[in-house]
Structure 1
């Protein structure tokens, strides 16, 4: 070994070893290593352990490196390396030796073993120079010929010309991308006998590593994935090996589509009714060029979880997917081919996207298309376990659940049948939690439920503790979301620093159904009865102390969320036929529930980014989108497969839908409006006004065509009270509420149309989180500010580098996009605010969520809320939380008339990878438990520093995709 590479450390001459040269030991089953000479051998994790140990020996000497500390460190590092490799590689199951060494280097850097990492890097560089010198001195030899192993086991010569053509085609029409670096990296990872699947995966993985430096490589990666998908799908439906380029698909889609429908029907995956459409007309309407609009994250998500498959093979191509969904929604239309094509054009253009259950199940034998279900749990064993069973049935086909548990009697309440005392609501919540985990929607996504409890329930303090990591685990629900259902009277007691009384609902049964003045009167009467000794189970507590505990638990565990009972009911159009007892899984649905009615909502979201330009909102395009979208959502109600009768009865009686939006942040950036500005608040107002106007108008048009919904008479709609008008009702019930009531459109004429013709839908709008469908469309989710401008998103499909393409475009225009900028953005966690050479106007425009004061989010949400007949999933962000800030923030949300809030997100102690991502596409952020700020004396919120903040629904949590 050259003397120049030896490290003189602690008297030991040593160098970090090459993993490639270590002795063979037991292997990791199923994975293989491509060596530099092209040979393939089994992957052996213990060689990583040996290499790391020798690296520590080189730096720390034999005594230090032989300690238990180093042994444990090496073991942990080895597990990290193996985990990163196996998670990232997917089904290819083959690593190149350089990839393994890259991961070892990254693991050392992430763990801050900087001296060892430096020694390792230097050794690798020296070995690379030696190999280069040896190669230059050796006589040239012909490159070895490579063969591809087909699924049948047959080996054929690699068609390198086609391989190059596919990569070149994927780069066509995209700025700042080149096929050569992809080809170089991909060809390096080929070996003789490579399988067809591995061959198709190699250029995809190569292109993914380049996304951080040029966002357009995300489109390249998607197009390379399309080639893989085309081979898989076309071969399956035809029964013979078949490939097609993107250019071929302009004609091939039309002939493939009837084959796809036939295959799906034969596999019992597609409703035979779709086979009775005019498939020639439908197939001719498919637009192959729209396949090119996908970014990699969106297409990979569809590939993994949405496209129809059988026997492990996908046979559904993207445009067939959108058409299958459209045909399912048009099945009962008169001219169903024309409507299917209309619906398809809306979906495939990404102007509008249906929610995940609709995308999963439309056109199938079990078309459960609805997104959200709300139930009220009764106060006896039959009712409780019926509620749990209903949860399972509703979740089975991808429904997200919200349960109202307030009627269940509290701890210590009398049980007449056994003459015993109740164990309260918590043990049953544990059962509901475990049911949600057991029913995981066929492996497509985790079952999810949110439990709601009203603030006067005697078990409220135990309810607040449900998500804690300490205490009796039998009284914890680690997987179920929870939310507080807060009456205005409680907030008024908090403001006045008054007392609050907790009751068991079996002794105060009418409180559950009351709100506003009626609730206040009944509640105060029960307080008087309790003081007189007429009630058995009750206790007093300082309202401010309970409020502080609510915020403390919200901060520590992310739960329970804070939602407001009175504005949800006072402004509800359906107060004449029931009560809103809770919201749903994501806090945007506010519909009535009872023992006889399970509320159902059918969701979809407008891609606002597709409806704006630098000149502003395209109102004509928006009107067309909303009109078609509302028809699609209304069709869901009649087509839907209902798993329980109470859901069917409720949905057909009230016909609610929830039209929302996504891409709000993208729209702002397109118009050059910073999120933290009056301009953004004004745009939130005007854009939601336009959506509201056209959604209500479209529902009136549908009522004229199809009839008004059955419970219309007596509703606020029937009285000419639209959402903008119902603000007055809230102001009357709660003087001092601060909501803007300005408008710009002709609401008087629409108000008269509503009264005269009626509405087809009791509710029309709700803004869902859209975490998954926004990925499909390639825009920011929902109404969220950007999380980071450069980060890695993790979900059930893997880890994906995400770069703000608009920011990169602006930085390029100013000559600021280079490797140094990429490094700076990593160092500052995807933020541009602390990078000195970025101009102030771009810092404002591209400020990330934790750089924006959450009061701006509430101001914008309040402006939207005035137009929405339901609610919105509103996350709040605080970079440096304190008790005082949380108190002020949530009181502000209440005063601004919000109906609900969703997650509180606090910046965790994070570490952004400072080294290159080349060859990894690994995580940028390694999120550790949050560092908790000390509570301020004015509001002494006590925080548990060991709490796993944000674990339940981190922004990159692979499990939290339940309401999109």
Structure 2
């Protein structure tokens, strides 16, 4: 040890302290730990410790050379920097310099804010005090284990500057907490609490009045401003305010609350007038307007919503209780082969989109290119130019400025324009014949699948020459199709084209892989299993492929959506089926109420919805429920559980609608329906097998007393023509803080983008399991980033943990499809079933879609293949791994070119929010 004549170190405040050589070692060790990614409690390696000792000794030797009674602390730190530079430890030096800057800023803030002045709303300034922020954090973080206050403060200080306003200080603190989510999942709740404080400041305005009293005032304010329906004032607001439970605000994670704040809470001149519980109660009141016991029902609805047991679809959350209560999620319409009707439907789409509806248009009847225009004796340009107009309408009318307009165009694959249709999403070619902002889907008859499987030809027709083909399905379609093929061969049909069925199928799958479109949906099972066969034909699905309803010139089909949060109905012991039953009954009532309260932008939508009264009860949080139960997605247990759960939900939803029919009457087109004949959805599986003549591997086993329910439905009727549909739940799942729909987790660590910004998300269940096993540290976070949120390549993670936390691309597609088949047998409509494939090839894609068809799925949604969308690695030193990260060398398995898929193509965008 160096012998010092220097005994005093001058601090920054002018005081002195005895020189302590150990502080030099601690300072250098801190920079080494930061560079190595180690926590303060973790030990450095022996080689690092030896080198630190050598550097500290040389610093002490340099101090001796000063030969003074005292030395300023900054001079000592300068000597440390000099020695690190001399050693060539540039990254360690960088860490040390940043450490000095951070400490300098923090000292300045703690010292009374000499350098930071905060601008007040009245134009004056005040000195910033960090100790006040730290006290605030102490209060807010109470009860949140693992939320590191020190790291929040460090991150916060980096975002301060002189002249920042009071709101900016709040935002900087929220940003600091949210930036640490990937390091500590508890920060999701910490950041949410900080955002809550901002909301309270904005909505409650520091009032000493109670939460409930201000709720009454904000309802009155909303009515005066013309935002809220005056009928809300007829409620007993005092009784409702007493039912509010502000502690439920703490259920939110940051991302969900941020979405609500940015896009859902009502505001007047950008100032919110809703706190979270005000919002839930406003939605509940809007849904209870027509109830006889409206306060009682509003409170029941509020309990469902505020406890995150069931969340209504986004349009309902946007507009319930407002002066324009457009509460429905999806609209489906048929475009006839008539110029006036084409532009009427496009105009209707604009009106529906304005009020947050997602659009599905059936274009099959519109004649193909080259058909004769009778009025002018010219030739038509086909459907493509009209679809371009529809695409631009979706862009122009972006759902009231709250989210982008979302349309999906459907045609049957025998349409003569199909080969141009499937190329609509390509980013090359004539831009006038492309629709980059609109989704596309094929309404595939079983006959095409059979012809591909059997190696036969397939004939394309101009729909104006085979006018009844679009209205037929099953065996009737196949017989009529064969007749038209014979007519074509004999020259009695002018426009037709014969192709090899497998070659057409290959073109479809190629475009699907390259662009994410067209989606594959199946016409025959959708119609054969429909309860409403007596009322017409299902000609397409909706924007997200889960709604299956009849459409015509006179009727635009409408569906009203909401989803049960399964993760709030499960414990490690299993599902709370009694709780589920009560949630389902309340949810069906809420959904049915939408139909009568709803604002209908078009007469065709009003007519259809009031006549048939369809609702779509869905689910979300399935993956989270499996995490709680410790059941791997890729397991027989999960398949069986999916079957059991959906049977229960189907039974209870039908029973609830049946009881509503007894109370309110059946829907007007009930007579002649499957329901009226005592046929429930599970009974229709055998009808598909009969029509197909095989080609069906769908289970139809049951476990509940369905005979009892069949008799009850026959006697009492049904309030709703359809009751179940599983939508994507992209946004409402984020609001509820759970996983989407029945989706497997995309990654254990990922970044999601929507209109509220980019959000880091980390799987808290995985982190908890790793912590229990002593495996969670900064190196684990780096590994998760490097391997794009996958646990499989990380050697030190045990096998049982790897199996539980497999991500979407690591689960075999056959498991996803088997689970979907078990669900589909119980669902009277459809499900937004994404398909994941890690190593795509033409053969693999074809086998996957054929399996979906054989398993009885009615529709599929996005094809999600590995893309260039990966975890942000800017904070990761990939050189430590000694390898290139995968995103630097991702190649297409088929073409060998770089995979540059759009966010929409890989399914990570927010377009599916239009359902929920």
The TM-score bracket by the shorter chain reads 0.7 to 0.9
| DSSP 3-state at the match of 1:373 | strand
Matched residues in 2 for 1:503 and 1:120: separation? 71
Whether the 8 Å CA contact 2:406–2:911 is kept in 1: the answer is: no
- 2:697 matches 1:745: no
User: What corresponds to 2:774 in structure 1?
Assistant: 815
Further displaced range: 710-719 or 737-746 = 737-746
Residues 1:591 and 2:549 aligned together: yes
Partner of 1:838, secondary structure, is coil
1:582 correspondence with 2:514: no
Task: Measure the CA separation in 2 of the matches of 1:401 and 1:374.
Answer: 6
**Aligned pair partner of 1:263 in 218, 221, 226:** 221
Contact 1:908 1:931 (C-alpha < 8 Å) held by counterparts? no
Contact 1:371 1:602 (C-alpha < 8 Å) held by counterparts: yes
Matches within 5 A, 1:486-885: 486-736=444-694, 737-885=696-844
Return the alpha-carbon distance in structure 1 between the equivalents of residues 326 and 582 of structure 2: 26
Distance 1:670 1:476, change over 3 A: same
Q: Is the 8 A contact 2:106 2:157 kept in 1?
A: no
Could you report, residue by residue, the CA deviation over 1:132-180 in whole angstroms, capped at 9, with x for unpaired residues? Answer: 9999999x98762755322221334557665334322221122212333
1:424–1:135 distance in 2 versus 1, CA, 3 Å: closer
Contact 1:484 1:560 in 2 (8 A): yes
1:509 partner SS: coil
Secondary structure of the 1:423 match is: coil
2:848 corresponds to which of 880, 885, 889:
889
Contact 2:212/2:238 (<8 A) preserved: yes
Q: Is the 8 A contact 1:605 1:659 kept in 2?
A: yes
Question: Is 1:356 matched up with 2:314?
Answer: yes
Question: After superposition, what is the alpha-carbon deviation per residue over 1:344-383, rounded to whole angstroms, capped at 9, x for unaligned?
Answer: 0100100000000000000000000000000000101101
Structure 1 residue aligned with 2:190: 220
Give distance in 2, aligned partners of 1:487 and 1:467. 22
Once the two structures are superposed, residues 537-567 of structure 1 have per-residue CA deviations (whole angstroms, 9 ceiling, x without a partner) of 1110111110111111100100000000000
1:678 is displaced (CA, Å) by 0.9
1:931 to 881, 891, 896: 891
- Output the TM-score relative to the length of structure 2: 0.87
- 2:314 aligned with 1:345, yes or no? no
| Contact 1:209-1:917 within 8 A present in 2 as well | no
The CA deviation at 1:416 is 0.9
* Equivalent residues of 2:331, 2:542 under 8 A apart: yes
Pair 1:275–1:525, CA change in 2 (3 A)? same
CA distance in 1, matches of 2:228, 2:622: 35
> 1: distance between equivalents of 2:249 and 2:155?
25
- Whether the 8 Å contact between 2:867 and 2:906 is mirrored in structure 1 is no
**Hey, what does 2:138 align to over in structure 1?**
168
- Describe the SS at the equivalent of 1:593: coil
- Contact kept? 1:479, 1:952, Cα under 8 Å: no
Give the distance between the partners of 1:490 and 1:722, measured in 2 at CA: 28
1: CA distance, partners of 2:308 / 2:889: 37
Displacement after TM superposition at 1:847 (Å): 0.1
Q: Cα–Cα, structure 1 residues 135 and 901, in superposed 2: closer, same or farther, change >3 Å? A: closer
Q: What SS does structure 2 have at the residue aligned with 1:581?
A: coil
1:728: how far off? Answer: 1.1
C-alpha change, 1:706 and 1:291, in structure 2 (3 Å) is same
Partner Cα separation in structure 1 for residue 286 and residue 634 of structure 2: 41
2:868, 2:901 within 8 Å by CA — same for their partners in 1?
Answer: no
Pair 1:422-2:392 in alignment: no
- Structure 2 partner of 1:48: none
What is the CA–CA distance in structure 1 between the aligned matches of 2:771 and 2:760, rounded to whole Å? 19
| 8 Å CA contact 2:529, 2:688 repeated in 1 | yes
1:419-451 alpha-carbon deviations (Å, 9 max, x no partner): 111111111000000000000012100000000
Query: What is the rounded CA distance, in whole Å, between the counterparts of 1:826 and 1:897 in structure 2?
Result: 38
Aligned equivalent of 2:422: 464
Q: Distance in 1 between matches of 2:813 and 2:719?
A: 36
Instruction: Provide the rounded CA distance (Å) in 2 between the counterparts of 1:954 and 1:888.
Output: 20
Q: SS in structure 2 opposite 1:586?
A: coil
Residue aligning to 2:903 = 951
Match of 2:913 in 1: 961
Larger Rg: 2
Superimposed CA distance per residue, residues 623-664 of structure 1 (whole angstroms, 9 cap, x where no aligned partner): 000000000000000000000000000000000000000001
Change (3 A) 1:134 1:420: closer
CA-atom RMSD in angstroms: 2.4
SS of the residue aligned with 1:403? strand
Give the equivalent residue in structure 1 for 2:200.
Answer: 230
Name the structure 2 match of 1:439: 397
Aligned to 2:9: none
Q: Verify the 8 A CA contact 1:908 1:928 in the aligned structure 2.
A: no
Aligned residue runs from structure 1 range 291-310, under 5 A: 291-310=249-268
Residue of structure 1 equivalent to 2:13: none
Distance 1:811 1:521, change over 3 A: same
Q: Is the CA contact 2:113–2:127 (under 8 Å) kept in the aligned structure 1?
A: no
Q: What is the total number of aligned residue pairs between the two structures?
A: 822
Deviations 1:658-685 (A, max 9, x none): 0000001011111111111111111111
Equivalent pair of 2:348/2:602 in contact (CA under 8 Å): yes
* Residue of structure 1 equivalent to 2:860: 901
Secondary structure at 2:360 match in 1: strand
Contact kept in structure 1, 2:111 and 2:129, CA below 8 Å: no
Q: 1:620 to 1:262 in 2, by over 3 A?
A: same
> CA offsets per residue over residues 256-288 of structure 1, 9 Å max, x none?
101110111121111111122111111111100
CA gap of 1:767–1:473, structure 2 versus 1, over 3 A, is: same
- What is the aligned counterpart of 1:180 among 150, 154, 163? 150
1:152 aligns with 2:104: no
Instruction: Label 1:911 to 1:670 Cα distance change in 2 as closer, same or farther (>3 A).
Output: closer
Secondary structure at the aligned position of 1:660 is classed as strand
Q: In the TM superposition, what is the alpha-carbon distance from 1:343 to its structure 2 partner?
A: 0.3
Which whole-Å deviations, capped at 9, do the CAs of 1:699-730 have from their partners, x for residues lacking one? Answer: 00100000000000100011111000001111
- Superposition deviation, residue 601 in structure 1: 0.2
Q: In 2, Cα distance between the equivalents of 1:331 and 1:452?
A: 37
1:205 paired with 2:169, answer no
Give the whole-Å Cα distance in 2 for the aligned partners of 1:946 and 1:591: 41
5+ long unaligned stretches in structure 2: 1-87, 878-884
